[in-house]
């Protein structure tokens, strides 16, 4: 599965960055490819919480159901798809003298077998990387603004 790793420094405390980044109500505001997120079970503050999001990466929107596999404030957050495209995402938040170093990884399997792998290599992987970079810049702007 392709792994994408992006990072950014944000001039805000790890707790503030963690709280904003993991709040499902704010994710459509800063994640460029997320259109909406709904908590489907759990308290939205612990492992085992489930959510459903509508995301658009490329030409069409898709629904993704996920379970939160890690919730360790203010250090890390991870979720794994349970339906929709096969993917796992994780964010870590490390304190720095002037704020927080955020690292975001996404590990995914392109749909459609060998054809999907070819499309991913030619187009989708770069698009996904660009969207993650833009999202992190948006997160930074919202928290530092």
Tokens of 47: 């492992």
Q: Which domain holds residue 59?
A: 3-144
Question: Residue 17: which CATH number?
Answer: 3.30.530.20
Residues 107-144: tens digit of each pLDDT: 976 665 655 555 555 556 777 789 999 999 999 999 99
- How many alpha carbons lie under 13 Å from residue 79 in its C-beta half-sphere? 21
pLDDT at res. 84: 75
* 129 three-state secondary structure: helix
Residues 70-105: tens digit of each pLDDT: 999 999 999 999 997 788 999 999 999 999 999 999
Q: Is 138 exposed, middle or buried (0-12, 13-18, 19+ CB in 10 A)?
A: middle
User: Model confidence at 2, in pLDDT bands (50, 70, 90)?
Assistant: low
Domain count, the chain: 1
pTM of the predicted model, to two decimals?
Answer: 0.89
Residues 4-38: tens digit of each pLDDT: 899 999 999 999 999 999 999 999 999 999 999 99
Of 1, 8, 17, 3, the residue nearest 142 (C-alpha) = 17
pLDDT at res. 137: 99
């Amino acid at each position: 599965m392709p792994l994408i790793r992006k990072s950014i420094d944000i001039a805000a405390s790890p707790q503030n960055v963690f709280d904003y980044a993991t709040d499902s109500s704010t994710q459509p505001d800063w994640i460029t490819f997320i259109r909406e997120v709904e908590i489907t079970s759990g308290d939205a503050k612990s492992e085992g919480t489930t959510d459903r999001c509508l995301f658009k990466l490329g030409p069409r929107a898709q629904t993704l159901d996920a379970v939160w596999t890690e919730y360790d404030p203010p250090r890390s957050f991870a979720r794994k798809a349970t339906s929709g495209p096969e993917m796992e995402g994780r964010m870590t938040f490390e304190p720095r003298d002037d704020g927080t170093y955020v690292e975001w990884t996404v590990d995914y399997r392109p749909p459609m077998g060998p054809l999907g792998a070819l499309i991913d290599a030619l187009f989708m992987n770069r698009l996904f990387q660009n969207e993650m970079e833009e999202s992190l810049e948006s997160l930074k702007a919202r928290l530092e603004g």
